[in-house]
Amino acid sequence: MDFTPALAQFVNDRALAARSPQWQRLTFSARRVLSRRIDPGIRIEVAGQYLRAPFSHNLPFLQKFHPSYDLNVGVLAALVHEWWPHAAMVDVGANVGDTAAIARRYAPGLPILCVEGNPAFASFLRENAASLGNVEVAETVLLSDHDGTLSGSFTSERGTAEFHSETSAAVVRTLTLDTLLAKHPSFRSPKLVKSDTDGFEGHVLRGASQTLEQAKPVLLLEYEPPLLDQAGTDGLEMLKLLRERDYAQTLVYDSFGVPVCMTSLADTRLLGDLDRYVRTRMLYLDLAIFPSTLDEIAAELYARESGSRG
């Protein structure tokens, strides 16, 4: 009998339950070392729901030590669902379904289409989606700026995955978001698109020109300059292109989901300062970006977030 999953679950639970700083360091270190040798699926709790995830996934610990982590998607999902009760959300880089679980808690009636390109996470995602309800999982495909293929591979570490282009690597199938949504008609005009793709955001947006033009969704984007550079995207140019598509008001969050400031894509000096800051600190930002026609909703998100954080 294989006791590996039970051992992993035991170590993970004990590390989460540790109270004293010394015991936290000891149990977390033990978990980190063990997860390099074994990585079975275990049960984790996200937004009051149990999901299956790799033992090495750091999400439970990020949420334990940083209570705001990833909750911005829930606040935004609730707001979008209030304004558009029949709206839908597209979750690009859905990982194991944790974002969908958070959005589902805040906006139970919001339909969600999950897209995950990494097969290792996609298997967990499909299992978890079945228990979340009103969550549809697209085919396992890398969203990019063209329909076709890319040579490369995924690397996974501590619950995140990056795609690395390599000419000698295996071929990965790609689709644009526009093409993918045409295959899922009920999600063709989403009002919320979240993209957490570890630097591939520029490719995703370039493949979503029709969706951005016609649906004008609110965007929640991860902004991590080194990974954007690695994927061949200038982050500030990406934001400039969104501004040219009539996107404006932007709520900036830090790496742990804490709101930093409300600004506009027209404030290029502040955006440049933020870009330089996160580069020097090796951090990333989350950006909630609104079409210029939705300034009122952007202001409401800012009011809710600033009020909830004191």
Indicate which CATH number applies to the domain containing 122: 3.40.50.150
Residue 190 banded pLDDT, cuts 50, 70, 90: very high
Average pLDDT over residues 251-268: 96
* Mean per-residue pLDDT over the chain, rounded: 92
Residues 136 and 244 in one domain: yes
The answer to whether position 291 is within a domain reads yes
Q: Are residues 56 and 94 in the same domain?
A: no
Q: Residue 266 has what pLDDT?
A: 97
The predicted model gives 73-82 an average pLDDT of: 97
| Domain endpoint, select from 42, 60, 78 | 60
Does residue 175 have a pLDDT over 90? yes
Predicted local distance difference test score (pLDDT) of residue 161: 67
Nearest-angstrom CA–CA distance, 75 and 102: 9
Is the model's pLDDT at 293 over the cut of 80? yes
* Domain shared by 113 and 197, yes or no: yes
Is the same domain home to 27 and 82? no
Whether pLDDT at 272 is above 80: yes
Q: Looking at residue 310, what is its pLDDT?
A: 46
Q: Considering only 81-90, 123-132, 155-164, 233-242, which range has the smallest mean pLDDT?
A: 155-164
**CA separation for the pair 57, 119 (Å, rounded):** 15
**Domain of 25?**
4-60
Position 1 scores a pLDDT of 52
**Do 240 and 269 share a structural domain?**
yes
Q: Are residues 76 and 198 in the same domain?
A: yes
Q: Same domain, yes or no, for 78 and 48?
A: no
Number of domains in the chain: 2
The answer to whether residues 31 and 147 belong to one domain is: no
Task: Taking residues 163-188, report their average pLDDT.
Answer: 87
> What confidence tier does 167 reach under pLDDT thresholds 50, 70, 90?
low
Q: Do 87 and 39 belong together in one domain? A: no
> Does residue 132 surpass a pLDDT of 90?
yes
**CA 173 vs CA 137, 153, 168, 209: distances in Å:** 17, 11, 15, 20
Written as six digits, the tokens of 200 are: 């591939």
pLDDT, residue 3, reads: 85
Any domain includes 251 = yes
Same domain assignment for residues 10 and 76: no
Residue 15 has pLDDT above 60, yes or no: yes
150 plus 298 within the same structural domain: yes
Structure pTM?
0.93
Over residues 281-293, the mean pLDDT reads 94
Domain assignment present for residue 296? The answer is: yes
Give me the mean pLDDT over the 236-243 stretch.
Answer: 98
